[in-house]
Structure 1
Amino acid sequence: MNDKQRALCKAHDYDFSDLSAVLINCTLKPSGQLSHTEALLDVPKSIMEANQVNVTVVRAVDFDLPPGVYPDMTEHGFGKDDWPELRKRVMAAEVLVLGTPIWLGEESSVCRRLIERLYGESGDLNAQGQYIYYGKVAGTIITGNEDGVKHCAMSILYALQHLGYTIPPQADAGWIGEAGPGASYADDGSGGPENDFTQRNATFMTWNLMHMARLLKDAGGIPAHGNQRSEWDAGCRFDHPNPDYR
């Protein structure tokens, strides 16, 4: 690199210090056990923290999250539900990153359950009458020893944008080792931490999440016109070609 390129890499005037992020690891392993997904999640965590983003990392499996698509499943027959506690962290953050291993070609069952619990809040509205996740951004990190990184990313990112999250460019990164039994990401000699493709994508994803969160926060979120559930329910049709169809 020349001097100008080095200067651009080392210095910038972006301020992310008022942003927060929650990184949810959907490993099947409880805290205290090695998680290869968390090892790769450490890349965006480190970059965000280096730029003064307030980062929280949690493992979903440490929480009692019964199945369901309601905000509190104790109201629907379950004795305990930790989702209301975890929900507070999710709602307080401008950035959400879901990390998951690949099992049988799909994201983990823990990840899918978490998405279902996120869905349980998607009917709520923000102060502008939009769906509650409008103005927040999301990405995903995926690890495994079998094919499926892009397939899992498509499934996860589709679900999150459908709920209202904004997905910036290059919002996923992953690593898969040799197909079948073998070294996982954080194992000695796996090649994962040295893999340029994975590390580049994880870095680009992180910066794109921070940039998009910065843009949305400075703009006050997604502009509130044409997407307000509260106004639609009140009868506004936002230039729909047949406003009297109902």
Structure 2
Amino acid sequence: MRALVLNCTLKPSPEPSNTERLAEVVSEALRERDVEVTGLRLADLHIPPGIGTDLGGDDRWPEVHERLVNSEVLVVATPTWVGHPSSIAQRMLERMNMMMSETDEEERPVAFNRVAGVVVTGNEDGAHHVISEIAGGLIDIGYTIPGQAWTYWNRGPGPGPSYSDTDEGHEWSASTGRAMAANLHAVARALAANPIGPPPS
């Protein structure tokens, strides 16, 4: 089984990413279940705006798309900015939009029988809203979202330290992240054994 973690931080490498640190908890729990995990930081790739799978030129989205269709598990990790997912997370969903019209050899949307979850960080509240926006978009595209397929960390109301600057709340976020990984793995296995068929005509 393969998992793809798309980190939608605004920071390019090698800048430290708080979101990546929390996502790694989920990644490690998936690896413990013999899942092959690949992570990509989308800020490191040239991904222009649009809805096509390949916009030509130096567009790097086609390689992300290839990894998406070859992974049974997707984890989207995003910081919270002004109460919303990062602009990179929104662009990711827009580029994934074309997957709704792509089908496999059995005429199913290519995202069918794949599971997804969400990791969110931020030093102010808004995580549940961000989870809802990302999960809702992924459901439209065809992904299955298991129960409690998310984890998040925030410091609470008002400005304050970021995830990497404090240990506050880490235990809960890590425990929830491990549960997220278990649920993603369980549902991915169930779908592999009993896949969703093509939509009725």
Q: TM-score range by the shorter chain?
A: over 0.9
Query: Is 1:184–1:190's contact at 8 Å kept on the other side of the alignment?
Result: no
Q: Which runs of 5+ in 1 are unaligned?
A: 1-18, 233-246
Alignment of 1:146-225 (within 5 A): 146-187=124-165, 189-194=166-171, 196=172, 198-219=173-194, 221-224=195-198
Q: Deviations over 1:87-112 (max 9, x none)?
A: 11111100000000000000000000
Equivalent position of 1:73 in the other structure: 55
Q: What is the aligned residue count?
A: 201
Alignment of 1:58-137 (within 5 A): 58-74=40-56, 79-137=57-115
Which consecutive unaligned segments of at least 5 residues does structure 2 have? none
Q: TM-score, normalised by structure 2?
A: 0.95
8 Å Cα contact 1:177/1:190 also seen in 2: no
Matched, 1:140 2:118: yes
CA-to-aligned-CA distance 1:153-178 (integer Å, 9 cap, x gap): 11100100111001111111101014
Distance (Å, rounded) in 2 between the aligned partners of 1:166 and 1:121: 14
User: Does residue 29 of structure 2 align to residue 42 of structure 1?
Assistant: no
Distance 1:201 1:72 in 2: 36
Partner Cα separation in structure 2 for residue 62 and residue 120 of structure 1: 22
Partner of 1:242: none
Q: Cα deviations across residues 79-136 of structure 1 (Å, max 9, x unaligned)? A: 4210011111111100000000000000000000001111122201111111110010
| SS of residue matched to 1:97 | strand
Q: Secondary structure at the match of 1:100?
A: strand
What's 2:35 paired with? 53
Matches of 2:138 and 2:147, distance apart in 1: 14
Structure 2 distance, partners of 1:44, 1:218, is 23
Letter in 2 for 1:113: R
Offset of 1:26 from its aligned partner? 0.2
What CA distance in whole angstroms lies between the structure 2 residues aligned with 1:93 and 1:104?
A: 31
| 2:7 alignment partner AA | N
Aligned partner of 1:63: which letter?
L
Counterpart contact for 2:153–2:170, Cα < 8 Å:
no
Partners of 1:184 and 1:217 lie apart in 2 by 38
Range that drifts further, 177-186 or 102-111: 177-186
Q: Secondary structure at the match of 1:57?
A: strand
Give the structure with higher Rg (CA).
Answer: 1
SS in 1 for 2:177: helix
TM-score (norm 1): 0.79
Moved more, 118-127 or 26-35: 118-127
* Shift, 1:215, TM fit: 0.7
SS in 2 for 1:22: strand
